[in-house]
Structure formats: C-alpha cells, structure tokens
C-alpha cells in the first residue's frame, strides 16, 4: 500500500470502525452475554443460567407460533406481494396519462407511519363499524370481529403488510423497468414476439437484479416486522399474531425478562445474518 493509501486508511477507518463497534458489535456482544442470564434489567446480571433461556425459548409455543408467522409473512410477500407489485409497476411505469398520480397513490401507504397504519386498520377491521360490518350488515348476520378471531386474526396482519409495503417494491420495479432499453422491446416486437414472450424473455431477465434486491428487502423486512403488530393486534388474541420481534418486545422487554429477550434477539440476529450473507453470496453475487 502506498503512503497515500495508508493516510487514507488512518483518516477514514477509525470513525467507521468506532461507529460500527459502538453501535453494532458491542450491543450484539452484550445481548449475547445477557442471553445467558436470568436478568430483569436492573443492576448487573448475576444469575447465570447457561442455555436455559434458549431451552425455554424453543419450548415456548408462542415463540414457535411467531416463527411460523414470520414464515407466513415471507411466503405472502414473495408469492403475492412481489408479483402484484410487478404487475402494477408494469401498468404505471409507462408514459401514460395519470401514471405519475397512480404511482404516488400506490406509494402512499409506504410513507405512512407503521403505527398510524396499524391504528387505521384496527378501525377498518372492527366488526361494529369497520369493513366487515358492511358485509355482515348487508347480509343481516351477526357482526364479525376479525381481530378477535384466533384462527384468522393473523390474516389481518398479512393484509396490512401487503398493503403497506407493496408500493415500495412497485417503485423498485418502476425504476428497473424504466432503465430497460426500449429498443430491445421494439426489436422483439418487430420480430413478432408476443407480449408474453417480450415480458418473459426480455423484461424479466433484465429486471433480475431489481427482483433479487426486492426479495432481499422483502424477507429482511418480514423478519423484522414489528410496528404494525403492536397497534393492530398487540400480538393477540391468545398470542396468535406475534412475530419474533413483537414476541421479543412483549415477552422480553415489557415483562422485564431482559436475559430471555436477549436470547430472542440473538436467535433473530442469527437468522437474519445467515439469510443476508447466504442470499447475497448465492443470488446477488453478480449484481
């Protein structure tokens, strides 16, 4: 390395390294350390319990349920949200009248604060005066309270997540679509390729990097979903709508079981890191 290179290193590395250590490495190491203690957050952790927190965690039906719920969010994001976002992106990416307006309208839910979205939908799902009441009222049957139904309440979370984040992915796709060279599509059209063939053989492959990026955001976002849950369902009814992070909050922080909560954090961290590195190495190597 040249003398100049060393100077750059000495000047620019310490701030970044310091920030990373103080805000990422240290808290993670501390959390991992707390995970071995039965600790309520007051004073220093003293009651060492080894792996007992982890044992409790994997024997906890609510935690296992929240893992399944995270899986469901990922599934719905990948199978419903992304195709939907792509479909709408195709419609609003072109230079047609009002496209910019539609893009903005579809993007609006994403800008809205998660907590506000959760509160709004809590009212929308209310059996007494929300959307279900229009249906049950018209049919003359008893009101239906989706958020109080332990079998279906989680579908409310899925709907809100879908509604809230598809605009973000749509925007990614719009940007991707607009960067595709139009002459490729025109050439294919002249050669007699059908609309589907053009989409399948030209648009989709060229959109590849954007799709891989959007899947990445989608999965990481799904693993960390929290803000919508709290105002919408609070994890209820009967703890059927928790995600890992809301589980951490309700069973670690509000119950002052900081050691146990840290163990949840460590598990979440391992899942996220494994996914992030694995995915980037396998799918995003060339992007």
Binding site for another protein (CB under 8 A): 38, 40-43, 56, 122, 126-128, 142-143, 145, 147-148, 150, 233-234, 236-239, 250, 253-257
What is the sign, positive or negative, of the torsion defined by CA atoms of 274, 276, 279, 282? negative
Cis peptide preceding 237, ω within 30 of 0: yes
**DSSP 8-state code for residue 48:** E
* Nearer Cβ to another protein (41/94): 41
Find out whether 143 and 133 touch, Cβ atoms under 8 Å: yes
The tokens of 54 are what? 């982890």
* Nearer Cβ to another protein (132/167): 132
Query: What minimum distance in Å lies between the beta carbon of 245 and another protein?
Result: 15
Find out whether 32 and 54 touch, Cβ atoms under 8 Å: no
Find out whether 113 and 120 touch, Cβ atoms under 8 Å: no
Query: What minimum distance in Å lies between the beta carbon of 233 and another protein?
Result: 8
* Nearer Cβ to another protein (73/153): 153
**DSSP 8-state code for residue 37:** E
What lies within 8 Å, CB to CB, of 144 at 6+ separation is: 127, 132, 135, 136
Query: What minimum distance in Å lies between the beta carbon of 101 and another protein?
Result: 35
* Nearer Cβ to another protein (117/172): 117
Could you give the C-alpha distances from 85 to 107, 170, 208, in angstroms and in order?
Answer: 11, 4, 14
* Nearer Cβ to another protein (55/197): 55
Query: What minimum distance in Å lies between the beta carbon of 126 and another protein?
Result: 7
Query: What minimum distance in Å lies between the beta carbon of 40 and another protein?
Result: 5
Query: What minimum distance in Å lies between the beta carbon of 32 and another protein?
Result: 19
Distance of alpha carbon 105 from the chain centroid: 21
> Any idea which residue has 């907590």 for tokens?
115
For 190, other C-beta atoms within 10 Å of its C-beta total 8
* Nearer Cβ to another protein (152/200): 152
Query: What minimum distance in Å lies between the beta carbon of 150 and another protein?
Result: 8
Find out whether 73 and 164 touch, Cβ atoms under 8 Å: no
* Nearer Cβ to another protein (114/239): 239
């Amino acid at each position: 390395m040249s003398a100049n290179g060393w100077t750059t290193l000495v000047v620019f590395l310490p701030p970044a390294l310091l920030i990373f250590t103080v805000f990422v490495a240290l808290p993670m190491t501390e959390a991992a350390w707390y995970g071995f203690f039965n600790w309520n957050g007051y004073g220093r952790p003293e009651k060492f319990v080894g792996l007992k927190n982890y044992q409790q965690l994997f024997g906890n039906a609510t935690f296992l349920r929240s893992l399944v719920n995270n899986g469901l969010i990922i599934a719905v994001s990948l199978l419903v949200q992304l195709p939907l976002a792509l479909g709408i992106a195709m419609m609003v990416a072109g230079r047609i009248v009002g496209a910019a307006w539609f893009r903005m309208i579809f993007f609006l839910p994403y800008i809205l604060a998660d907590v506000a979205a959760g509160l709004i939908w809590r009212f929308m799902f209310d059996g007494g005066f929300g959307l279900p009441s229009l249906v049950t009222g018209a049919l003359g049957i008893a009101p239906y309270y989706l958020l109080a139904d332990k079998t279906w309440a989680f579908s409310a979370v899925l709907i809100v997540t879908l509604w809230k984040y598809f605009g973000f992915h749509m925007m990614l796709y719009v940007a991707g679509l607009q960067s595709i060279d139009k002459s490729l599509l025109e050439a294919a059209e002249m050669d007699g390729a059908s609309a589907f063939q053009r989409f399948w053989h030209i648009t989709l492959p060229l959109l590849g990097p954007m799709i891989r990026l959007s899947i990445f955001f989608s999965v990481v976002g799904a693993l960390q979903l929290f803000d919508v849950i709290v105002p919408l369902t609070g994890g209820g009814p009967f703890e059927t709508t928790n995600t890992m992070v809301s589980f951490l909050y309700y069973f670690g922080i509000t119950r002052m079981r900081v050691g146990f909560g840290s163990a949840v954090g460590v598990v979440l961290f391992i899942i996220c890191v494994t996914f992030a590195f694995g995915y980037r190495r396998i799918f995003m190597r060339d992007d």
